[in-house]
Amino acid sequence: MGTAVFWAIVITGIFASRKLFPHWWARSPTLPYAPRPALPEGLPPGTKDARAIKLEDAQPGDYVAVVGRVGPRADLAAPVSKRPCVASDIVISDPQTGDRITRVLRATSFTLDTGGTQAVVDARGAFVRLQHDLQAREIDSRQLEPGILAPDPGGRRVAVFEGIIAPGEYVLVIGVVEKPTAGDEVGYRTSADVRLRIAGGGGRPSVVSTLPGDLRAVL
């Protein structure tokens, strides 16, 4: 009898504590894989001089920071996942030690749509900042795109982190405004409304970023 009373008191106390102190019983959220930025936190030196501006108000020679969406055309494919993209970043490391073996960052030209107007963005040579959203802990190096690693007939095992900037993504672009040229094929093929080009210039670096912190800084 005494044991039954004891357990009844314990169970009643548990249910009471769940109502009175729910935070004690809250489950810790299951965190997803936290992607690592391609570059250290913080924009490169010189970008603080860029002005946040509506793209339709920009003039050639302005050093601007604008946020818009990447156009539908993508000329690149990610090295591992083969996803269409306008920029990709892949980090390959030793799965046992974690030591980095190599990193390959690629970017091309794309159309930026801000809703009011469009511009051709030349991301070649830009500081590309994105998140690695694909992780493979251990794969055969022969599955990688040829040329990324030296050939290994035995199939070296490597860890891979990959991130991309895909069509339709919101992106921050910092750069110098120019008039488009006939060489900007992506703009001329996409829309006749493209009237601006954004690229790096001299000591004013260009940036293409999808990191939430960078987007919020301008928005």
pLDDT class for 189, splitting at 50, 70, 90?
A: low
- Residue 177: pLDDT above 80? yes
pLDDT class for 217, splitting at 50, 70, 90?
A: confident
Count of domains for the chain = 1
Of 4, 206, 214, 208, residue with least CA distance to 87: 208
Q: How many CB atoms lie within 10 A of CB 148?
A: 17
Write the pLDDT tens digit of every residue in 2-58. Answer: 676 666 665 666 556 555 444 344 333 332 333 333 444 578 888 888 888 888 888
Residue 169 to residue 208: CA distance in whole angstroms: 12
Close Cβ partners of 177 (under 8 Å, ≥ 6 residues apart): 58, 59, 60, 61, 62, 63, 64, 119, 196, 197, 198
Least confident of 47-51, 83-87, 96-100, 164-168: 96-100
Percent of the chain with pLDDT over 90: 25
User: What pTM value is reported for the model?
Assistant: 0.72
At residue 208, the pLDDT reads 94
> Domain residues for 140?
2-218
Residue 65 to residue 218: CA distance in whole angstroms: 7
Q: Running DSSP on this structure, what letter comes out for residue 35?
A: P
At residue 58, the pLDDT reads 87
Quick check: helix, strand or coil at residue 151? coil
Percent of the chain with pLDDT over 70: 71
At residue 180, the pLDDT reads 74
At residue 147, the pLDDT reads 72
